Amino acid sequence: MLEERAAQWKDEYIRQGVVMGWAEGKAEGRAEGRAEGFGLALQDLLEARFGTLPQSVTSYIASSSDANALRKLTLFAYRAESLQAVVDRINDDTKMM
């Protein structure tokens, strides 16, 4: 009887672990998707406003996984006077990390 109960507990814990792992993976996938979307929007905006971008800017966008930071940078880039202002903001943000 005890062995059966232990086996049931084991199976239940495994099921719970699978469900938790699936939920965590789904949340991570959403976060990555949001960051990728904001990154693409930011790059499109910058290219439309300022033309060809320096490698440092495209590398920063491609490597950033913080959707909120990319969103804020996109809003800043929309109003920026120049590409240099955006580059300066990126440099300031990377110094704070």
Torsion sign over Cα 49, 54, 96, 61: positive
28 has pLDDT over 90: no
Q: What is the pLDDT of residues 64-94, one digit of tens each?
A: 999 999 999 999 999 999 999 999 999 988 7
Structure tokens at 34: 């949001």
- Range ranked top by mean pLDDT from 9-18, 24-33, 56-65: 56-65
Q: What is the mean pLDDT of residues 27-49?
A: 92
Residue with tokens 């903001």: 89
Contacting residues for 47 by C-beta, under 8 A, at least 6 apart:
53
Distance CA 17, CA 28 (A): 16
Average pLDDT, integer, range 27-41: 90
Mean pLDDT computed over every residue of the chain: 88
% residues pLDDT > 90 (the chain)? 60
